[in-house]
């Protein structure tokens, strides 16, 4: 049985809230799950629907599998890194707020009777190009040329050619003095 994977990482909703939505979708066909999500009023519906659409696009593009044949085989929600914020409290104290993030993984399965077309990889050759073996390559010694000259005064970069160094002159004497 073929599987199609999709994942959404660092979703800014806690895993507990995402699991409320995902537990309703396990075992459904992908299109039925999207229909069910349209009528669910939870904050995690948007990233879950986006993930299902991404998995359907992966199946169509990579394996040429029809959307109607796919069902939700596995849905995983793991905790991502916790974002820590602070809320001011009485007497100058601060209370920590832990904002959870989620890593969501989705596996769409294909039933055994479905047709799968796996695209063949074709070699594309440029016109007039030929394949060269490593033995045919001529090895020439490398010539080291130094463009950046040391303290001789020539500029290292083309943009520095017309520029002059600025001297601080009179002001330098004032701001180097120590007071006290």
Least confident of 9-23, 36-50, 68-82, 156-170: 156-170
Q: What is the pLDDT of residue 163?
A: 62
Helix (H, G, I), strand (E, B) or coil at 49: helix
Residue 157 pLDDT exceeds 80: no
Give the mean pLDDT of 94-103.
97
Helix (H, G, I), strand (E, B) or coil at 109: strand
Give the mean pLDDT of 148-175.
60
- Cβ(70)–Cβ(30) under 8 Å? yes
**Residues recorded for the chain:** 180
Reported confidence tier of residue 180, pLDDT bands at 50, 70, 90: low
Residue 179 pLDDT exceeds 60: yes
- Cβ(97)–Cβ(85) under 8 Å? yes
Mean pLDDT rounded to a whole number for the chain: 84
Tens digits of per-residue pLDDT, 108-124?
999 887 776 655 556 66
- Taking alpha carbons only, the member of 20, 26, 71 closest to residue 43 is 20
Tens digits of per-residue pLDDT, 135-147?
777 777 777 776 6
Q: What is the pLDDT of residue 158?
A: 60
- Cβ(103)–Cβ(78) under 8 Å? yes
What domains, with CATH codes, occur in the chain?
3-109 (3.90.470.10)
Residue 159 pLDDT exceeds 70: no
Contacts for 104 with CB less than 8 Å, ≥ 6 apart: 7, 8, 9, 11, 18, 22, 47, 48, 51, 75, 76, 77
**In this structure, what DSSP letter does residue 67 have?**
G
- Cβ(111)–Cβ(69) under 8 Å? yes
């Amino acid at each position: 049985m073929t599987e199609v994977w999709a994942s959404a990482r660092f979703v800014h909703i806690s895993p507990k809230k995402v699991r409320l939505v995902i537990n309703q979708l396990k075992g459904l066909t992908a299109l039925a799950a999207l229909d069910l999500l349209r009528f669910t009023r939870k904050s995690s519906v948007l990233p879950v629907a986006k993930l299902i659409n991404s998995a359907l696009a992966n199946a169509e593009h990579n394996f040429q599998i029809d959307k109607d044949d796919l069902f939700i085989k596995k849905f995983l929600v793991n905790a991502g890194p916790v974002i820590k914020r602070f809320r001011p409290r009485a007497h100058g104290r601060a209370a920590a707020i832990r904002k959870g993030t989620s890593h969501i993984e989705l596996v769409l399965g294909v039933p055994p009777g479905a047709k799968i077309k796996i695209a063949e990889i074709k070699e594309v050759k440029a016109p007039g190009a030929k394949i060269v073996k490593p033995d045919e390559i001529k090895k020439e010694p490398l010539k080291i040329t130094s463009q950046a000259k040391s303290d001789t005064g020539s500029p290292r970069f083309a943009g520095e050619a017309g520029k002059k160094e600025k001297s601080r002159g009179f002001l330098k004497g004032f701001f180097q003095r120590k007071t006290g």
